A and B are shown apart, each in its own frame.
Chain A
Amino acid sequence: MTDMTSIPWLTILVFLPLVGALLCLLSWHSAALCRWLALATSWGVFTLTAGLFAAFRQGGAGWLLYEDHAWIAPLGIRYTLGLDGISLLLVLLTGFLMVVAVLVSWRVTRFSAAYFALLLGMEAGILGVFLALDLVLFYLFWELMLIPMLFLIGIWGHAGRAPAAVKFFLFTLAGSLLMLIAIIGLHLVHVEAGGAPSFALEALRGTALPARVEPWLYAAFLLAFALKVPLLPLHTWLPDAHTEAPTAGSVILAGLLLKTGVYGLLRFGLPLFPNAAAASLPWLAVPALVGIFYAAWIAYVQTDAKRLVAYASVAHMGFVVLGLAAWNQTALEGSILQLLSHGITTAALFALVGMIDERAHTRRLDELGGLWGRVPRLGFFFLLFCLAALGLPGLNNFVGEIMILIGAFQTRPWWGAAAFVGVVFAAAYMLRLVQAVLWGPPRRRDFWPDLDVREGVVLVALALAALWIGLYPAPLLQPLQAPVADLLGQVPLGPGPGGVP
């Protein structure tokens, strides 16, 4: 594996989708060519991420791959990319879900060159977010991934797309801008303390922050990331964005963009401000727990299948944040694994809802029903992923949830107990979804084709991934051990203030 270090694999990984996007734009005259180019590019990126995973699945401490070059010298901004076990898994997920996103977009014919170019541009941004180690570079990728999503929702979305796109963009930008100010503030504190001008994570991590400043900077970071997760009560942009987004947009939004919030918190928010972070962890559990129940309840009363899945997403991300707040090896590994599981399950559910919408031209639960008898293969996958989402053992979500719950029981038994009840709530809204879509009398009489080969391939691939995580998650947990232990060492969790249980 000596050649793995001499070739800039990470740079290739980030820029390959951009090359693909350019090729798509250049072949604007042929929609079919664009599709195939996008598929080829995303497949190429996926094989690259899979290759990285194969090479580094043993994990290990420190950076598995690292690239560092001077970029904007007068300001001390560097081009630094690094891959550790946590980013390895998320990069793998990105590569996989982008192939899915391209495949579920196969029928997009309006301005398909721009559509696929934006999709690939977003892939570059997301990969960059998972790899960047310079704060300005990170911010650049962070914003870069939002712009394509804005246009995907705004141009290819459903009826109420424009307000939803703007709402999504403004919400996330609001947090990001404050984070930018905090980044600059951190940089200036670092310089004032005698450090060389730098925005590098490694350099800034050692900065001794005045107790007066640290909570404010941390709060700005936390807000940016919590908005993306989204943590209650900052979630209101999400259902609208999901409802109006095209299918691929929903897949990426739920499968990848939400993950960047948790990742940012793990990579930057907590290590940069260890004291403030340690003090805040017990309080993070409150919105997480409330979110699990509140979002589950709201999901239960939805009449639109896509909105139901969107709120389910909020509830599931509550579990992930709960795992963070529990802050021990098991819970953290569970949280990160849950990011993967949730990415796969939700992507599959959004893809399925999209497929139903393509056939029935409705997503209203009271207009659907009886799919089991009419399109049995689609019905089978729908049932499978609903069961996965409600945490059936043997399927992917169960592993992450049980690890989070076990971890929570170790440090905060009351939280674990409360969250356990949340699992029952998840069963309630998921079963309602199954009931409304699959069973009951068919309410429509028009002819629907069952899954075609392309759709079948997408769902089989997702199902295999779900089964893999559900039955044999060890290879995915292996690379997490060292980085998670490292994180726990950097942010030692003191006793919660005021004796929070």
Chain B
Amino acid sequence: MTWNDLIALSPILILALSSAALLLAGAWWPRRQALMGLGCLAALSAALVAGVLEPPTEEISALFSAGPYARYFTLLWSLVAALTLLISLRYGRERRFSAGEYSALVLFAAAGMALLSSAISLVGLFLGLEAFTLVLYILIAFHRREERGAEAALKYLVLGAVATGFLAFGIALIYTSSGTFLLPEALAGLDPQGGLRPLALLGWGMLLVALGFKLSLVPFHLWTPDVYQGAPVPVTGLLATGSKGAVLAVLVTLGAGLESGWAELRPLLGVLCALSLLVGTLCALRQDNLKRLLAYAAVVQMGYLLLALMAEGGAGSGALIFYLTAYVVMSLGVFAVIASFSSAAGEAQALEDYRGLGLRHPLRGAALAVFLLALAGIPPTAGFMGKFVIFVAALEAGLVLLVVVGVVASLISVYYYLRVVIVLFSPDAEEAGLSPARGEESFVIAFCLAATLILGILPGPLLGVIAALIP
């Protein structure tokens, strides 16, 4: 590893090193707010470095890329980590989180996500994925007195371990058939002339199973509602946005390299996509717990992103990255509002907890309504523009049937999102004692709200940026 490699890796190094530093600092200097604030600063500086610094080299040790594509996602996940820490300030204090460990883990998760999004080899993929998955096991159970948290973490751990097994075995099979870990060459193992083609196909199938688990695609989604419900809200936000987004980012890299094998994998992806859209929608309809509802809704959202992935070529990748970015700000906004509505007594999870909140706290209520409508794809929000570009790309690729399934799912999704909005604005005689949002929580909500609206009304600049960074 040369000096140039280190410079190219610097945003991720900032995340990882400050994570270690915060862990140490927390042992001697247990100041909760200060440590979380420092973690937030570290994440922001990583984002700044990723955005500004022109790396001297394009790839690092044949494991990770340092190109614009990788830097975009490094920036995005660093920002997600910073926002997650901001909404954890009050939440963590009320639950006596030990801030050193907490901030360290969040930063390390961001580093892992950034690594995964930058991976250009199967080893890099494995390293990145495991780096943040291991951290998430701990973060999900971080609130020690919450039984659901431990249960959720255990569920995630057991299924995650199985997925890791699939991933490792799949990588081994691909390596066997192609003799390399580098993605573009490993993909050549799928070449119809290749001697070990069945093994490579099997390997890719296993890889898809492992990644499908992380994305909670149907039928690998069974952990999702329990983990969403059990994890502390800020962690759920991180899990919903960063961990899924990083996997999707690497899937785009994989898809861009797949040429001959794509045709064989497409029917499989199509089935996963349609199942995710339909099953997620039907399950979300019946939920009375907001976090579980969001979990199933996330399954549906992954279906849309998979639709973009299947629309091969620049249009599809661009649509995926745009919608992913939109999805990150919208989801983070929702979880920020939920976090700000949580009190020391517990989280506001049941739909009934939200009855009338929009009337008593109009600003946060309206923001939550906007985020939910955005997730449902109602203009003029980022969600609409994202779905629009996905539908354009998918129709261009001739995926008419899947688009129709997507439209039906989208229509039904409006119903379950609207249910929440209506509960939010239904009059309620009883006055619940909720604290007003704190400054940093309001900031996160306002930031996500602004991003949601700007990406919906003026998506041009971001679309331009994305078009320039597709590998």
Contact of A74 among B359, B378, B464 (CB under 8 A): B464
| Nearest chain B CB to A72 CB, angstrom units | 5
Contacts of A23 in B (CB 8 A): none
Q: Are A181 and B407 in contact (CB under 8 A)?
A: yes
Residue B426 lies at the interface, judged by CB distance under 8 Å to chain A = yes
| Nearest chain A CB to B69 CB, angstrom units | 17
Q: Closest residue of chain B to A71, judged by CB?
A: B460
Describe B's contact surface by its main secondary structure. Answer: helix
Q: Are B391 and A140 in contact (CB under 8 A)?
A: no
Contact of A169 among B395, B414, B425, B460 (CB under 8 A): B414
Q: Are A170 and B391 in contact (CB under 8 A)?
A: no
Residue B51 lies at the interface, judged by CB distance under 8 Å to chain A = no
User: Please, what's the 1-or-0 string for A345-380, where 1 marks a CB less than 8 Å from any CB in chain B?
Assistant: 000000000000000000000000000000000000
Cα A71 to Cα B425 in complex, Å, equals: 34
Residue B422 lies at the interface, judged by CB distance under 8 Å to chain A = yes
Q: Are B425 and A185 in contact (CB under 8 A)?
A: no
Cα A147 to Cα B459 in complex, Å, equals: 21
**Interface pick from A84-92, A172-180, A387-395:** A172-180
Contacts of A28 in B (CB 8 A): 362
Residue B256 lies at the interface, judged by CB distance under 8 Å to chain A = no
Cα A173 to Cα B407 in complex, Å, equals: 10
Cα A75 to Cα B318 in complex, Å, equals: 12
Given the interface pairs A136-B388, A170-B411, A180-B388, the reply to whether A74 lies near B467 with Cβ below 8 Å is: yes
Cα A185 to Cα B410 in complex, Å, equals: 18
User: Please, what's the 1-or-0 string for A275-303, where 1 marks a CB less than 8 Å from any CB in chain B?
Assistant: 00000000000000000000000000000
Q: Are B425 and A143 in contact (CB under 8 A)?
A: no
Q: Are A185 and B380 in contact (CB under 8 A)?
A: no
User: Please, what's the 1-or-0 string for A176-200, where 1 marks a CB less than 8 Å from any CB in chain B?
Assistant: 0110110011011000000000000
Q: Are B460 and A72 in contact (CB under 8 A)?
A: yes
Contacts of B403 in A (CB 8 A): 181
Cα A162 to Cα B389 in complex, Å, equals: 32
Contact of B391 among A72, A111, A162, A180 (CB under 8 A): A180
Given the interface pairs A136-B388, A162-B422, A181-B395, the reply to whether A72 lies near B414 with Cβ below 8 Å is: no
Q: Closest residue of chain A to B373, judged by CB?
A: A147
Cα A49 to Cα B341 in complex, Å, equals: 45
Residue A166 lies at the interface, judged by CB distance under 8 Å to chain B = yes
Residue A155 lies at the interface, judged by CB distance under 8 Å to chain B = yes
Q: Are B407 and A154 in contact (CB under 8 A)?
A: no
| Nearest chain A CB to B303 CB, angstrom units | 16
Identify which of residues 377-429 in chain B touch chain A, using a CB-to-CB cut-off of 8 Å: 378-380, 384, 388-389, 391-392, 395-396, 403-404, 407, 410-411, 414-415, 418-419, 422, 425-426
Cα A34 to Cα B115 in complex, Å, equals: 52
| Nearest chain A CB to B341 CB, angstrom units | 19
Residue A415 lies at the interface, judged by CB distance under 8 Å to chain B = no
Residue A165 lies at the interface, judged by CB distance under 8 Å to chain B = yes
Cα A261 to Cα B464 in complex, Å, equals: 35
Identify which of residues 146-164 in chain A touch chain B, using a CB-to-CB cut-off of 8 Å: 147, 150-151, 154-155, 162
Contacts of A185 in B (CB 8 A): 395
Q: Are B467 and A143 in contact (CB under 8 A)?
A: no
Given the interface pairs A72-B459, A144-B380, the reply to whether A173 lies near B391 with Cβ below 8 Å is: no
Contacts of A144 in B (CB 8 A): 379-380
Cα A169 to Cα B422 in complex, Å, equals: 12
Residue A73 lies at the interface, judged by CB distance under 8 Å to chain B = yes
Contacts of A166 in B (CB 8 A): 415, 418-419, 422
Contacts of A170 in B (CB 8 A): 411, 414-415
Residue B463 lies at the interface, judged by CB distance under 8 Å to chain A = yes
Q: Are A188 and B396 in contact (CB under 8 A)?
A: yes
Q: Closest residue of chain A to B426, judged by CB?
A: A162
| Nearest chain A CB to B331 CB, angstrom units | 20
Q: Are B425 and A151 in contact (CB under 8 A)?
A: yes
Cα A144 to Cα B425 in complex, Å, equals: 19
Residue A66 lies at the interface, judged by CB distance under 8 Å to chain B = no
Q: Are B463 and A181 in contact (CB under 8 A)?
A: no
Cα A495 to Cα B133 in complex, Å, equals: 68
Contact of B411 among A71, A114, A139, A173 (CB under 8 A): A173
Q: Closest residue of chain A to B391, judged by CB?
A: A184
User: Please, what's the 1-or-0 string for A102-144, where 1 marks a CB less than 8 Å from any CB in chain B?
Assistant: 0000000001001000000000000000000000100110011
Contacts of A155 in B (CB 8 A): 425
Identify which of residues 107-135 in chain B touch chain A, using a CB-to-CB cut-off of 8 Å: none
Contact of B460 among A73, A111, A165, A181 (CB under 8 A): A73
Q: Hey, which bits of chain A sit against chain B, CB under 8 A?
A: 28, 71-75, 111, 114, 136, 139-140, 143-144, 147, 150-151, 154-155, 162, 165-166, 169-170, 173-174, 177-178, 180-181, 184-185, 187-188
Return 23 A-B CB contacts under 8 Å, by A number.
A72-B463, A73-B460, A73-B464, A74-B460, A74-B463, A75-B389, A75-B463, A136-B388, A139-B379, A140-B380, A143-B378, A144-B379, A154-B422, A162-B422, A165-B422, A177-B411, A178-B407, A180-B388, A181-B407, A184-B388, A184-B391, A185-B395, A188-B395
Q: List the 4 shortest-distance A-B pairs measured between CB atoms, nearest first.
A: A74-B463, A143-B379, A140-B379, A72-B460
Given contacts A114-B362, A143-B384, A188-B392, 8 further A-B contacts (CB under 8 A): A72-B458, A150-B418, A155-B425, A169-B414, A170-B414, A177-B411, A181-B404, A188-B395
